[in-house]
Structure 1
Amino acid sequence: MEKINILNHCLACFLVIQISSTLAQNPVRETNYNRREHSLIKPFLTAGLTVPYWDYTGSVMFTQSYVRLTPDEQSMSGAIWNQIPCWSRNWEIILSFKVAGKGKDLFGDGFAFWYAKDRMIVGPVFGSKDLFSGLAIIVDTYSNHNGPHNHQHPFISAMVNNGTLSYDHDRDGTHTQIAGCEARFRNVEYETLLKIRYDNDVLSVFTDLENKNNWKECFTVDGVELPTGYFFGASATTGDLSDNHLINSIKFYELDGVTTFERADIIPRATKFEEPREHVDDPKPGWSNLKIFCMLMFGMIGAVILSIAGYMYYEKYQQNKKKRFY
């Protein structure tokens, strides 16, 4: 019995040493801090029918279960914006949302989650300002996608802007995105989760699309430099096509408890981002086989008519010539 106790004691000591060694080599960050002033959680409305820490504009509607940015109607736009700038150096956002509508084959347009300098400005980029300064995580659901590219929709992408780049709707933003992934989440019965993590200039986006509490990496990009002091927001828009764009919750976590004003003046940029490509219009569609056949037929018929007309003119000319000699 004593040998067994000694053996168990030695084993416990060994495990403690191993765990201590692992922690020394791979230090674990302290528990994340949930910050209420940057979060949007139920209940959304206070007794005075106000939303703590948030402003909203456009077609936004608050219910007990969700915040609707747009209804499933054409030409709608809505946005919500945090009132308090974020001074946390490293942070994580868990966004719960749902996109659904009546359209089976045609639907759109989508929504965007923002970390931007300017807030509450309505514009053409999913209901918010173009030529923005900051970060946009764009959830593009437009089914009839624009331009040639090698992915399907819905599509999640990231754009970092210093205020000089314009979002190219005609190319679904592919000319200015830094990364992206396909994500099939539309018209599912459960909520979709999106995790946006910014940690020491590394931007990572993860998804939980199957309601299995299992995060799947969408993309990770290092060298993303964002200033502190910008605002979080979400906006959505519909055009000729439409969907309900619902936000169920926004949960903000400060990763290390560090706030800093030193990065307030840096210019947003992605150091590993290609230079934006120029917009090039789609080539005009080529002629179909039927159109080519019809053009050839019309050409042949025209040639025959001209030949007959030429022959008749020549014959008449010869007859008139003979008459002059009589």
Structure 2
Amino acid sequence: MTQIINTSCLLGLFVVFLASDILCNENGDYMKRDHSLVRPFQGVGVILPHWDFMGNTMVTSNYIRLTPDLQSKSGALWNYNPIMSRNWEIHVGFKVHGKGTELFGDGFAVWYTKERMQTGPVFGSKDYFNGLAIILDTYSNHNGPHNHQHPYLSAMVNNGSWSYDHDRDGTHTQLSGCEVRFRNVEYETLISIRYENDILSVSTDLENRNEWKSCFVVANVELPTGYYLGLSATTGDLSDNHDIHSFKFYDVDNDVSHDEIMRRTNIVPNAKSFEPPREHKDDPKPGMSNAKIFFIILFVVVVAALVAIFAISYFKDRNARKRFY
């Protein structure tokens, strides 16, 4: 993630400054203020320009905490301006930290969806959503068998008909994913989400090296214009602080017509290379513990002993009555 701002960005900076878009990314794309959050955050604790927040979300001048490190908390942050760009890029600066050393959770998600400000079971937001979810799952007590470790970053595109399978960490409906180690580090960690010409690219900067590392690239992803950006997080029996330090939206459009942007509002979210959801299969039942086996054997022995005692008594009594007669 280079710090060099190219010439075209510098030439346009003065004009853009007048329009309140004062930052460029490494590609020279302009940051859109009405879709972004940059410190210090204004309207601390009451109003956040261009954004709504709900649940346990707390706004400070330096960070926005979606959830505290407490059990059963949920929070969300939603932009109230629809995205009318054909191509775009998002940089999210965040920190996830807490007192847990081996057990922690649950995680947070970055959303580009038709629905906004709706609570639900998917990291504090709505299930059966329409759009894109980028999920950063930290739940350390794995749900079922996996071939990856946690934290784990994945993407899901939904047309409103699929449910996020929390019991399987969404692995039955994900586009792609990668392992990400961002929890309890001393520095800010970042994720980049770029959507350009129906190609979704997700990269990370998790080692404070000021450079992007690719997580995955998926082609043939169709997303409508006119959807909303949001973030949400949740905790359950396990918990963490989920802090957002920045959210920067860059317009990547080059010579995209207004008619093209309006036409894409009618697209149904889909990923052509995405495999259909696999059948949900329950985990095999766990084997019995040694203690349970011991008590079962003990119970069988006791029952057998009682049956033997009863049988011996019965036959003794029967034989005694025969001798009497």
Q: Return the TM-score normalized by structure 1.
A: 0.84
Q: Does the aligned pair in 1 maintain the 2:45–2:59 contact within 8 Å?
A: no
* Whole-angstrom distance in 1 between the partners of 2:180 and 2:301: 53
Q: Which residue of 2 aligns with 1:130?
A: 127
Q: Letter of the aligned partner of 2:318 in structure 1?
A: Y
**What is the CA distance between 1:172 and its match in structure 2?**
1.8
Instruction: Tell me by how many angstroms 1:89 deviates.
Output: 1.2
Distance (whole Å) between structure 2 residues aligned to residue 30 and residue 176 of structure 1: 32
Give the secondary-structure state (helix, strand or coil) at the position aligned to 1:321: helix
Larger of the two Rg values belongs to structure: 1
Gaps in structure 2 of 5+ consecutive residues: 1-25
Query: Paired residue for 2:150, among 148, 153, 160?
Result: 153
Confirm whether residue 230 of structure 1 aligns to residue 230 of structure 2. Answer: no
- Cα distance in 1, alignment partners of residues 178 and 247 from structure 2: 21
Identify the residue that residue 65 of structure 1 maps to in structure 2.
62
Change (3 A) 1:54 1:298: closer
Partner in structure 1 of residue 106 of structure 2:
109
Partner of 2:3: none
CA distance in 2, matches of 1:132, 1:48: 28
Query: Match of 2:314, SS?
Result: helix
For 1:149-188, list aligned pairs within 5 A. 149-188=146-185
User: Equivalent residue for 1:42?
Assistant: 39
In structure 2, what is the Cα distance between the partners aligned to 1:289 and 1:103?
29
Counterpart of 1:221 (choices 218, 224, 236) is: 218
Partner of 2:4: none
**1:6-17 matched pairs, under 5 angstroms:** none
Deviation at 1:44, TM superposition (A): 2.1
TM-score if structure 2 supplies the norm length? 0.84
CA separation of 1:64 and 1:164: change in aligned 2, threshold 3 A: same
For structure 1, which segment, 259-268 or 301-310, has the greater mean C-alpha deviation from structure 2 after superposition? Answer: 301-310
Q: How far apart in 2 are the matches of 1:319 and 1:189?
A: 86
The structure 1 segments of at least 4 consecutive aligned residues displaced by more than 4 Å after TM superposition are 46-49
Residue type at the aligned position of 1:295:
I
Alpha-carbon displacement from aligned partner over 1:34-66 (angstroms, at most 9, x marks no partner): 222221112321599643322222222222211
**Equivalent residue runs for 1:1-326 within 5 Å:** 31-45=28-42, 50-257=47-254, 258=256, 260-324=261-325
| Contact 2:83–2:228 (Cα < 8 Å) also in 1 | yes
Give the 3 Å change call, closer, same or farther, for CA 31–214 of structure 1 in structure 2. Answer: closer
User: 2:44–2:59: 8 Å Cα contact kept in structure 1?
Assistant: no
CA spacing shift, 1:90–1:277, aligned 2, 3 Å: same
Partners of 1:116 and 1:150 in 2: CA distance: 29
Q: Give CA-to-partner distance per residue, 1:197-242, whole Å, 9 cap, x none.
A: 1121111111111001122111111121111111111111122222
Which sections of structure 1, spanning at least 5 residues, go unmatched? 1-28
Distance in structure 2 (CA, Å) of the matches to 1:98 and 1:269? 31
Contact 1:92–1:253 (CA under 8 A) maintained in structure 2: yes
CA distance in structure 2 between the aligned counterparts of 1:86 and 1:122, rounded to whole angstroms: 21
- Verify the 8 A CA contact 1:30 1:256 in the aligned structure 2: no
Distance 1:310 1:31, change over 3 A: same
Measured in 2, the distance between the counterparts of 1:184 and 1:55 equals 29
CA distance in 2, matches of 1:30, 1:166: 36
For 2:60, the aligned partner's letter is T
Q: How far off its partner does 1:306 sit?
A: 2.5
One-letter amino acid matched to 2:136? V
**Equivalent pairs: percent with the same residue?**
62
- 2:22 maps to none
Can you list the C-alpha shifts for 1:9-55, whole angstroms capped at 9, x where unaligned?
Answer: xxxxxxxxxxxxxxxxxxxx973232222211123215996433222
Say if 1:91 and 1:253, in contact at 8 Å, map to a contact too: yes
Maintained 8 Å contact 2:71/2:235: yes
Alignment RMSD (CA, Å): 2.3
- Please state how far the C-alpha of 1:245 moved relative to its aligned partner: 0.8
Structure 1 residue 316 displacement after superposition: 2.6
The amino acid of 1:256's aligned partner reads D
Q: Distance in 2 between matches of 1:239 and 1:285?
A: 23
Give how far 1:98 is off.
0.5
1:323 Cα shift?
Answer: 2.0
Equivalent residues of 2:67, 2:235 under 8 A apart: yes
Q: Deviations over 1:145-186 (max 9, x none)?
A: 222222221111111110111122222222221211111111
